[in-house]
Amino acid sequence: MKWTTGRGGIALVVAAVLTGSAGCSSPGQSEEEHRAAPASLTALRSAERATGRAASARVRSTAVMGTTLSLRAAGALGWDEGLTGTLTITYTGGTTAEAMSELGITTMEARYLTDAYYARTGEALAAKTGGRHWVRYAYDDLAGLGAGADFADQMRNITPDQSVKLLLHSDDVHTVGAESVDGRATTHYSGTVDVEDVADAALRRQLERAGVSSETVDIWVDDRDLLVKKVEKGRTATGEYRQTAYYSDYGTEVRVEAPPAGDTADFTVLLKEQGGS
């Protein structure tokens, strides 16, 4: 099996870690850009600001993407000056998980730094990369690889405030009501995001390339305007997806370092070496 057999699997796994779909990230939009302004939008904008200012949190997440992949992830992320953090990802099912298993990978450590994402591989894959146990994905390099541009965008936009920003594109966003999540009192908001109504052109193209026409976004916000839970679900060209994430311990300390250079292989170099460029 060539190394490139695992290329799509690793990319898909990383993209699905918190986003749960091919396009669940979004830049913010002004009030004027939104065609409707229900009262709940004021609360959502407060949640976006508060969650962004919190700068870090612990996260646990599950994702299912049709028959392709299911996984769970847990760790801590920071977003004060770019994305940083560490997640442990466990593949629980799907054809991609089966391909990863053939490479000896069922669980992977993921490290996020501001310029790149690092994935720790298993011994079987390390044997195909000169004994190196880490693969480095530089965001700028991925942006130049066609479909890798979406991958790079997703890696920069997996912080909890991104679901709030995405929900702000919805024309039917509304308050569902008060609910308890993990013992915390929260307010539940929900809305449907139609791709054709997304004002941001880059986000709209990203969703369209993934075959997404619409998706439902639900978030639960506590009395400090912090995101406690999110659920994003819909359908892409490859089938239905659903992603659920829980956030806690906002402001937690996040420390992460790049793996040793001698134990790290660069993704784009590996592609060239394996004829995958």
Averaged over successive runs of 10 residues, the pLDDT of the chain (277 residues) comes to 39 40 36 49 93 94 87 92 90 87 85 91 81 88 58 60 84 93 96 80 68 86 96 81 93 95 90 65
Length of the chain: 277
Q: Note the pLDDT of residue 66.
A: 83
120 near 109, Cβ under 8 Å?
yes
- DSSP code at position 50: H
Token pair for 232: 């994003």
- DSSP code at position 82: B
Q: Note the pLDDT of residue 251.
A: 96
Output the pTM of the full model: 0.80
Select 3-273's CATH number: 2.50.20.20, 3.40.50.300, 2.40.40.20, 3.60.21.70.
2.50.20.20
Q: Count CB atoms within 10 A of the CB of residue 89.
A: 24
> How far apart are the C-alpha atoms of 146 and 153, rounded to whole Å?
12
> How far apart are the C-alpha atoms of 65 and 242, rounded to whole Å?
7
For tokens 């997640």, the residue is: 87
Strand spans (E) along the chain: 56-65, 69-78, 84-93, 107-112, 116-120, 134-138, 174-181, 184-194, 214-222, 227-236, 239-248, 264-266
Collapsing DSSP to helix, strand or coil, 93 comes out as: strand
